A and B are shown apart, each in its own frame.
Chain A
Amino acid sequence: MTNVSVTVNGQSREADVEPRTLLVYFLRETLGLTGTNVGCDTSTCGSCTVLVDGESVKSCTMLAAQADGRDVTTIEAMAHGDTMHPIQDAFHRNHGLQCGYCTPGMVMAAASYLQENPTPTEEDVREALEGNLCRCTGYQNIVKSILDAAGSMSGAPETTRA
Chain B
Amino acid sequence: MVATEQYVGSPVLRKEDAKLLTGQGNFVDNQSMAGMVWMALVRPPHVHATIQSIDTAAAASMPGVVGVYTAADLETAFPAALPMVWPITEDIKIPTHWPLTKDKIRFAGDAVAVVVAETREQAEDAAEMVTVSASDLPAVTDLEEAATDEVVIHEDLGTNVVVHWSHGGGGDQSVFDSAPVIVQERFTQPRLIPNAIEPRGCLAYGSPAAGEFTLVSATQIPHICRVGLSIATGVPQSKLRIIAPDVGGGFGSKLNVYAEEALALALTRSIGRPVKWIETRPENYVATIHGRGVLHDCTLAGTEDGEIQGMKFVELADMGAYFQLLTPGIPELGGWVYMGPYDTKAYWYEFKGIITNATPTDAYRGAGRPEATFVIERLVDAYARRIGMDPADVRRKNFLPPSAEAFASVMGLSIDSANYEPTFDRALELAEYDQMRKEQQARRDRGDTKQLGIGLSSYIEMCGLAPSEILGALRYVAGGWDAAEIECRPDGKVVVRTGTSPHGQGHETSWSQIVADGLGVTPDDVEVLHGDTSVSRLGMDTYGSRSASVGAEAVARALEKVRAKARTIAAHELEVAEDDLEWTDGAFRVSGAPDKARTIPELAASAWHAHALPADMEPMLEGTAVWDPPNFTWPGGTHICVVEVDTETGKTDIMRYVAVDDCGNVINPMIVEGQVQGGVAQGVAEALYEEALYDESGNLMSSSMTQYLVPTAVEIPSITQDRTVTPSTTNSLGVKGIGEAGTIASPPAVVNAVIDAVSHLGVSHIDKPASPERVWRAIRDAQGGAA
Contacts and interface: CB of A to CB of B under 8 A. Distances in A.
- Most B CB contacts (10 A, CB to CB) among A40, A76, A138, A139 go to A138
A92 B21 contact: yes
B247 to A, nearest CB: 7
B22 A75 contact: yes
A65 interface: no
Contacts of A72: none
Contacts of B413: none
Interface in A140-162: 140-143, 162
A140 B718 contact: yes
Interface residues of B, number: 53
B25 A126 contact: no
A47 B674 CA distance: 20
A39 interface: yes
Nearest to B670: A95
Interface stretch (B266-274, B328-336, B677-685): B677-685
A97 B21 contact: yes
Given A42-B706, A47-B197, A136-B504, 20 more contacts: A39-B197, A42-B704, A44-B706, A45-B281, A84-B22, A95-B14, A95-B674, A98-B504, A99-B20, A99-B196, A99-B246, A99-B503, A100-B17, A100-B504, A126-B712, A127-B714, A135-B249, A135-B251, A137-B674, A140-B718
A33 B25 CA distance: 11
A136 B249 contact: yes
A1 B718 CA distance: 49
A42 B704 CA distance: 7
A33 B23 contact: yes
A95 to B, nearest CB: 5
A8 interface: no
Contacts of B492: none
A112 to B, nearest CB: 15
B678 A98 contact: yes
B80 interface: no
A92 B22 CA distance: 11
B13 A93 contact: yes
27 contacts: A39-B198, A41-B280, A41-B281, A74-B23, A75-B21, A75-B23, A76-B23, A84-B18, A84-B22, A88-B22, A91-B17, A92-B21, A95-B14, A97-B21, A98-B506, A99-B247, A99-B503, A101-B198, A104-B23, A131-B712, A133-B705, A136-B249, A136-B674, A139-B681, A139-B716, A140-B716, A143-B718
Contacts of B247: 99
A59 interface: no
B526 to A, nearest CB: 18
B17 A92 contact: yes
Given A35-B22, A37-B248, A92-B17, A45 B197 contact: yes
Interface in B445-469: none
A138 B706 CA distance: 19
A34 interface: yes
Contacts of B503: 99
B719 interface: yes
A47 B196 CA distance: 12
A38 B713 CA distance: 19
Nearest to B710: A133
B20 A103 contact: yes
B30 A88 contact: no
- Most B CB contacts (10 A, CB to CB) among A33, A103, A130 go to A103
A115 B13 CA distance: 27
Interface size classification for chain A: 35 or more
Nearest to B282: A41
B713 A35 contact: no
Nearest to A162: B13
Given A95-B674, A97-B20, A99-B503, A138 B719 contact: yes
Contacts of A138: 677-682, 716, 719, 742
Given A37-B198, A135-B251, A138-B719, A95 B671 contact: yes
B21 A84 contact: yes
Contacts of A98: 249, 504-506, 674, 678
Contacts of A37: 25, 27, 29, 197-198, 248
B249 A137 contact: no
B712 A100 contact: no
A31 interface: no
Interface in B488-540: 503-506
